[in-house]
Amino acid sequence: MKQWAEGVYLLGTFEFFQTGCWMLVNGKEAAIVEFPPYTPGFNESPADLTKKVTEELGLTIKYLLCTHTHHDHYSTRTMREFQNLFPDAEFYLQTGFKNEVRLPNKNVHFFDEQQVLFLEQEPLILEHAPKHSMTDTMIIFKGSVCTGDWELNTLISCHDDKPRYAVKKDVKIRSIEKMALFQSKYHYWIHTIYSAHANDFRKDIDFTALMQSTLSPSLPY
C-alpha cells in the first residue's frame, strides 16, 4: 500500500487497464474507491488485499465508492467480494449506476448532484461531474481530489467519437464550471489531484485554474 497524499493510499493497480483500487483513511475509518476487475491467480483480489490491510491496521471500511460505471472501474465480481468481506460497509453511487451496472443487493444509496459523507468528522464529498462518462463522480477528501478518468487541460474526452459513451459538450462545460466554483463556494482548499489509474498526479495545484484550462477545446500539447 502506497501513500499518495494525506489520507489517500493506493492499494494496487489491476489488470490490463491498471485501474487503481484506493483507500481513503481518517483515524480508524476508511473508504474504498473503485472495484477493478482482476485475474485470480495473477492478481490478488482487491477485496482480499483490503481485508488484510484493514485487519493489520485496525481500520473499519465504512464506505464503498466508485468514480464511474466503466468496466475497468466497476467489476461486478470485485464489488460482490467487497460486499461479502465488508457486510456493514455502505455503497454510495451516483444515480446513473442504476441503469448501467449490476447493483449491490444491500446497503446501497444513490445520489444525484452531491453527497457529503464523513470519516471521523473529516468530510468526504462526492460530486457528480460528467465529462469522461455520464456517471463521473469526483471524490474529494483532505484537500485531494480523485478525478476518475477525466482528461485534464482539455474539453476533449477519449470517448467523444463513441455515441454510446460520449458526454455532450454543454454537459461537460457545466461540470467543469461547477468544479471550478467548488473552492470558493465551500471555502475548501484543493491542493492535489490524482487520476483513478494513478497515471496523473499533481500536487500544489491551483484547482480553479486547472478547471478553467480544462475548458480549452484543443489538446493540452
- Of 69-77, 116-124, 182-190, 206-214, which part binds Zn ion (CB under 5 A)? 69-77
Minimum distance, C-beta of residue 68 to Zn ion, in the bound complex (Å): 8
- Looking at 34, 72, 81, 127, which residue binds Zn ion (CB under 5 A)? 72
Cell of 1: 500500500
User: How many Å apart are CA 176 and CA 59, to the nearest integer?
Assistant: 34
- Of 27-35, 71-79, 159-167, 182-190, which part binds Zn ion (CB under 5 A)? 71-79
Q: Which residue's CB is nearer to Zn ion, number 191 or number 202?
A: 202
Minimum distance, C-beta of residue 157 to Zn ion, in the bound complex (Å): 12
Q: Which residue's CB is nearer to Zn ion, number 72 or number 127?
A: 72
Q: Which residue's CB is nearer to Zn ion, number 59 or number 65?
A: 65
- Of 109-117, 122-130, 144-152, 207-215, which part binds Zn ion (CB under 5 A)? 144-152
Neighbours of 2 (CB within 10 A): 10
DSSP string, 82-128: HHHH-TT-EEEEETTHHHHSPPPSSSEEEESSEEEEEETTEEEEEEE
Neighbours of 103 (CB within 10 A): 14
Structure-derived torsion over alpha carbons of residues 134, 152, 78, 48, reported in degrees to the nearest 10: -150
DSSP string, 35-63: B----BTTB--HHHHHHHHHHHHT-EEEE
Q: Which of 62, 61, 102, 57 is nearest to 79 (CA)?
A: 102
**Residue 136 makes contact with Zn ion by CB under 5 A:** no
Size of the site for Zn ion (CB under 5 A): 2
**Residue 149 makes contact with Zn ion by CB under 5 A:** yes
Minimum distance, C-beta of residue 73 to Zn ion, in the bound complex (Å): 5
Minimum distance, C-beta of residue 124 to Zn ion, in the bound complex (Å): 21
Question: Pairing between strand 19-26 and 122-128?
Answer: unpaired
- Of 37-45, 68-76, 106-114, 205-213, which part binds Zn ion (CB under 5 A)? 68-76
Q: Which residue's CB is nearer to Zn ion, number 45 or number 147?
A: 147
Q: Which residue's CB is nearer to Zn ion, number 83 or number 147?
A: 147
* Residue with grid cell 466497476, as numbered in its chain: 74
- Of 39-47, 108-116, 149-157, 186-194, which part binds Zn ion (CB under 5 A)? 149-157
What letter would DSSP give residue 152? P
Contact residues toward Zn ion (CB under 5 A) are 72, 149
